[in-house]
A and B are shown apart, each in its own frame.
Chain A
Amino acid sequence: MSGHASNNPDPKTAVLWDTEYHGHDVISTRSLGFFMYLLSDGMLFATLFAAYGVLSYQHSYFGGPTPADFVKPWYTFSQTIALFLSVLAYGMGMTALKRRSRGGLINGLLGAFVLGALFLVLDVHDVMDLAAHGITVATSGGTSAFIILTQVHAAHIFFGLLWILVMIYQVLRLGFTTDTVGRLLSLRMFWHFQAVIWVFVYIFVYLWGYMS
């Protein structure tokens, strides 16, 4: 027998089959899986930050423009505020969910969408502006790392916005079901997580780049 034989129950009285067992609830199981996806997303960003770290030496810019030349800290700060307010709006929506208020939730999601879209518009405008000044992924290794890292984050925001729209539709059509509530919780994790990542992007890519 196993090393824990003494812990084994008496075979004469042991429970062998469990008709009443139905497993964990759906939402907790799905949330754990989504949390794990976010862990892998965290590793994705960690790798991109590592690449940025390696490609942010002076020689990585090959004599071309460095973040100290083109980062606009106050402009990017406005992006930060937009994203944080978007997360706040999402949080307000989720408190409305606890009150089972569909209208409150939709308002929160709409607020989160508008503010998130504002973030994305500001981001895209920034990249276009850089391109107009000849700063693209093809300029140097340093600008490649800078632009790809920030735009991978922007892509996450884009898909998050799409997801918010889908959830608005699903909540309007289906109401609060196990599926929709579980997805709203996963989306909340996703949206908060992207804001947390943005804190690192803003500090270590924009501000640090500006200071160096």
Chain B
Amino acid sequence: MLVDLPGGWNPLLGRLAWSQIPYDNPILAPLFVAVVLGGIAIVALITYYGKWGYLWKEWLTTVDHKKLGVMYIIIGLVMLFRGFVDGMMIRTQQAWAVGPDSSGVFGALHGYLTPFHYGQVYTAHGLIMILLAATPLLVGFMNIIVPIQIGARDMAYPYLNALGLWITAAGAALIMASLFIGNFAHNGWFGYAPIFEIQYSPGVGVDYWMWTLQLLALGTTLGGINLLVTIIKMRAPGMTWFRLPIFVWASLSANIIALTSFPALQVALGLVAADRYLGAHFFTAGLGGNLMLYTNLFWIWGHPEVYFVILPAFGMMSEIFPVFSEKPLFGYITMVLASFAIAGVSWLVWLHHFFTMGAGPDVNSFFSVATMLVGIPTGVKVFNWAFTMYRGRLTFTAAMLWALGALFLLLIGGLTGMMLAIPAINYMVHNSVFVIAHFHSMLLVIVYAVFGSVIFWFPKVFGFKLDEFWAKTMFWLFTGGTVLVFVPMYMLGFMGMTRRLDYVFNTNWHPYLLVMEGGIVVYTLSVFAFFVLLYVSIRDRVKNRVGADAWGTSRSLEWLTHSPVPFYNFAVTPHVNARDEAAWRRANGIAAVQPAKYVDIHMPNNTPVALYIGALTFVLGFALTWRIWWLCLASLVAIIVLMIVRSYRGDPGYIVTAAELERMEREAIARERQVDGSAGEPVVGGAPAVGRPAMAYERSDLPKTSTPPSMGPGAHH
């Protein structure tokens, strides 16, 4: 039943052998040494400072959505760096290997990467940037911000949330393992039939690619379900649908896409696995297989996935613009409708990735028109943001600069996207670097929105602001890199340069490629600026501490609770009265009103089970890649047994008593009073349950009462 493999296989180690370790590779071997030394250094530092217990208790076993979100973002940033290094390698190869006279080192005829190695680099670059950088960064922000914005204590399923994180981490670990054990796929991040079939790609590279994607798809689906249920079921009282912050709407529409589209990817890759492991003929060139079936199935997921990553970025921009324009978002309802229009149309445009398939004028026309339709809701969003800023009181903070950068890139990427939507143009530039420049413009919208959000929400999560000077320096360097890399790329696309060249034959293109290499250098400087930003901000953290409302002009519910957000988010569930609750309370002078009394709250326990299952999914992916059948079976059985045991034990959770809660709240309030000073003695009130009067008339600008006002009916004016 299993296919016969070329090369060795033994029952104990599968295809794994010493010869699979690239110790003779002049790039990978030193990198491996560096990684090992770095790993030892980190382990030694943790041990030296005695932080293992802290790490285990506070992070590795946590089910707190904020910490899980932070870990998602750390994975995303680390993988963004790895993807950036891949990009740097691609650019350097193309700047070097130009024309027949260009030199070659490390066994390459031209440049320094052999074609096979170069293929792996661009495949890893694409896969990592989309599924291990953009996706975890956005999922991380959704994890942190959505529950606070809707006034929830945690996600609907805290344990499932941890599981999603650790499965994503397992995917990241699997693709990193491919660097040093075996090799990675060379078929591009989306894969081509039949090159990924076992006859043409007999190595383990394709298997790494396939199982990494499967793990990430699983983790994202679990996270998607969690976010959807959280938004539907966990909203605070008064948080009606049309009071949801736009970021929550964006997360809702994005996760509907994730929930419905990721199964298509899982099936597409599952069928590739059937071909490669069982000898099936889904996508083979003969015996009744259909090559284009794969491409269609992949992009039926692939295009919705593009909107799955762009919609939360739009949501982030919709949060940042109003705060730094000191105006409510323009066109709230149209923003919601536009998000759902984009999510809906995302299902009808997949074929524009391969107009050249030859489906005929009818099919191409349909997908061309559907693709152009995307421009309408996106245009609505752009105009809404512009009108939000129009006559606003603009402050150009670093977060605002990143959001503005995202807006300009969206304009460039959107307009070139409209060009590509026309099949006649698309035929001319198909697979040229013009397409590459277009989708990098679009994906950079996400990167810009993410860095804007890192700066915007950092004080909420950690309690102090990032340094504005270095954040702005990083922005300008990054933007310089973007211009220098992608403007020449658009030009080369028009000149006919195709994508993924490991050797550039036309020496006339060399100046452009050198400018792009210069752009990469500028990008590298922006990476250094980011590290300096982190260092300076952490060094000056005491000076940069903030109160609940870090920017002073913020609007949505997350700015009502303390910074950093306590593990229970809100000591008492807020009752929402307005669309921009924080802005409404501030405008009415009741932003400092604290609950009059506290009650016990119920919180979920930490658990290491999610970490164990995540680790086992890595083992499963590794064993499948190397065809170590006993290990596949063992890890699968272990996963199922762990799930059954966990379900039998359940989680009773634990109680934070009202007294403890009050103590922690008092400390947090005292800390914040030191920071913003102005608030003075916080007033209590506003805790009426059924039959009790409201206490909100205790305004902070009125004389303070030291004790809570009487709760009797007579106190009502």
Q: Which residues of A contact B (CB under 8 A)?
A: 1-5, 8-9, 11-21, 23-24, 28-30, 32-33, 36-37, 39-41, 43-44, 46-48, 50-51, 54-55, 59-62, 64, 131, 136-142, 144-145, 148, 162, 166, 169-170, 173-174, 177, 179, 183
Contacts of A137 in B (CB 8 A): 1, 274, 278-281
Contacts of B598 in A (CB 8 A): 19
* Segment among B305-313, B470-478, B684-692 that sits at the interface with chain A: B684-692
A23 to B18, CA, bound (A): 56
Q: What are 12 A-B residue pairs whose CB atoms fall within 8 Å in the complex? A: A9-B577, A11-B589, A18-B236, A19-B595, A32-B229, A39-B259, A47-B300, A55-B288, A59-B288, A170-B647, A174-B648, A183-B647
In the complex, the 6 A-B pairs of residues with the closest C-beta atoms, listed nearest first: A16-B686, A141-B288, A2-B579, A11-B588, A144-B280, A138-B279
Partner of B572, one of A18, A28, A140, A145: A18
Closest to A2 in B: B579
Cβ-defined contact, B648 with A41, below 8 A: no
User: Is B237 an interface residue when CB atoms closer than 8 A count as contact?
Assistant: yes
User: Is B457 an interface residue when CB atoms closer than 8 A count as contact?
Assistant: no
A11 to B699, CA, bound (A): 9
The A-contacting residues of B in range 203-247, CB under 8 angstroms, are: 221, 225-226, 228-229, 232-234, 236-238, 242-243
Interface of B is mostly: loop
Given the interface contacts A51-B271, A137-B274, does A19 sit within 8 Å of B572 by beta carbon?
A: yes
Partner of A29, one of B156, B578, B584: B156
The A-contacting residues of B in range 620-653, CB under 8 angstroms, are: 640, 644, 647-648, 650
Closest to B222 in A: A37
A59 to B289, CA, bound (A): 9
Contacts of B696 in A (CB 8 A): 11-16
Given the interface contacts A1-B583, A11-B696, A138-B280, does A32 sit within 8 Å of B233 by beta carbon?
A: yes
Total A-B Cβ pairs within 8 A: 226
Closest to B593 in A: A16
Cβ-defined contact, B234 with A51, below 8 A: no
Closest Cβ of chain A to B237, distance in Å, is 5
Contacts of A29 in B (CB 8 A): 156, 229, 233-234
Closest Cβ of chain B to A185, distance in Å, is 14
A114 to B286, CA, bound (A): 42
Contacts of B229 in A (CB 8 A): 29, 32-33, 36
Cβ-defined contact, B593 with A51, below 8 A: no
Given the interface contacts A11-B588, A36-B229, A51-B271, does A19 sit within 8 Å of B687 by beta carbon?
A: yes
Closest Cβ of chain A to B336, distance in Å, is 12
* Segment among B127-135, B261-269, B431-439, B672-680 that sits at the interface with chain A: B261-269
Closest to A12 in B: B697
Contacts of A148 in B (CB 8 A): 270-271, 274, 280, 282
Given the interface contacts A16-B577, A54-B290, A140-B281, does A43 sit within 8 Å of B264 by beta carbon?
A: yes
Closest Cβ of chain A to B701, distance in Å, is 12
User: Is B500 an interface residue when CB atoms closer than 8 A count as contact?
Assistant: no
Closest to A56 in B: B288
Given the interface contacts A1-B328, A48-B267, A148-B280, does A15 sit within 8 Å of B688 by beta carbon?
A: yes
User: Is B297 an interface residue when CB atoms closer than 8 A count as contact?
Assistant: yes
Partner of B274, one of A17, A144, A169: A144
Cβ-defined contact, A51 with B293, below 8 A: yes
Partner of B237, one of A11, A21, A43, A179: A21
User: Is B425 an interface residue when CB atoms closer than 8 A count as contact?
Assistant: no
Cβ-defined contact, A40 with B579, below 8 A: no
Q: Among A55, A169, A173, which residue has the most Cβ atoms of chain B within 10 A?
A: A55
Cβ-defined contact, B267 with A141, below 8 A: no
Cβ-defined contact, B580 with A1, below 8 A: yes
Contacts of B293 in A (CB 8 A): 51, 54-55
A55 to B297, CA, bound (A): 13
Closest to B225 in A: A36
A135 to B150, CA, bound (A): 55
Closest Cβ of chain B to A174, distance in Å, is 8
Closest to A39 in B: B259
A183 to B646, CA, bound (A): 13
Cβ-defined contact, A55 with B287, below 8 A: no
Closest Cβ of chain A to B573, distance in Å, is 5
Cβ-defined contact, A18 with B288, below 8 A: no
Cβ-defined contact, A19 with B689, below 8 A: yes
Partner of A28, one of B233, B275, B579: B233
A173 to B649, CA, bound (A): 11
A55 to B290, CA, bound (A): 7
Partner of B228, one of A2, A28, A36, A50: A36
Cβ-defined contact, B648 with A3, below 8 A: no
User: Is B541 an interface residue when CB atoms closer than 8 A count as contact?
Assistant: no
Closest to B261 in A: A43
A9 to B588, CA, bound (A): 11
A47-B300, A54-B290 known, 12 other contacts, Cβ within 8 Å? A1-B328, A3-B579, A13-B716, A15-B577, A16-B590, A32-B232, A43-B259, A62-B286, A64-B288, A138-B280, A141-B290, A170-B647
Given the interface contacts A11-B696, A23-B233, does A17 sit within 8 Å of B328 by beta carbon?
A: no
Closest Cβ of chain A to B170, distance in Å, is 20
Cβ-defined contact, B290 with A60, below 8 A: yes
A8 to B580, CA, bound (A): 10
A interface footprint on B323-336 (CB within 8 Å = 1, 0 otherwise) = 00000100011000
Cβ-defined contact, B647 with A166, below 8 A: yes
Contacts of A32 in B (CB 8 A): 229, 232-233
Given the interface contacts A40-B221, A60-B290, does A13 sit within 8 Å of B233 by beta carbon?
A: no
Closest Cβ of chain A to B110, distance in Å, is 40
Partner of B332, one of A3, A39, A54, A62: A3
User: Is B82 an interface residue when CB atoms closer than 8 A count as contact?
Assistant: no
Closest Cβ of chain A to B696, distance in Å, is 5
A89 to B601, CA, bound (A): 41
Cβ-defined contact, B282 with A18, below 8 A: no
Closest Cβ of chain A to B520, distance in Å, is 39
Contacts of A61 in B (CB 8 A): 288
User: Is B117 an interface residue when CB atoms closer than 8 A count as contact?
Assistant: no
Closest Cβ of chain A to B64, distance in Å, is 17
Cβ-defined contact, B232 with A51, below 8 A: no
Partner of B259, one of A24, A40, A60: A40
Closest to B283 in A: A141
A170 to B650, CA, bound (A): 11
User: Is B157 an interface residue when CB atoms closer than 8 A count as contact?
Assistant: yes
Closest Cβ of chain A to B267, distance in Å, is 4
Q: Among A14, A20, A60, A61, which residue has the most Cβ atoms of chain B within 10 A?
A: A14
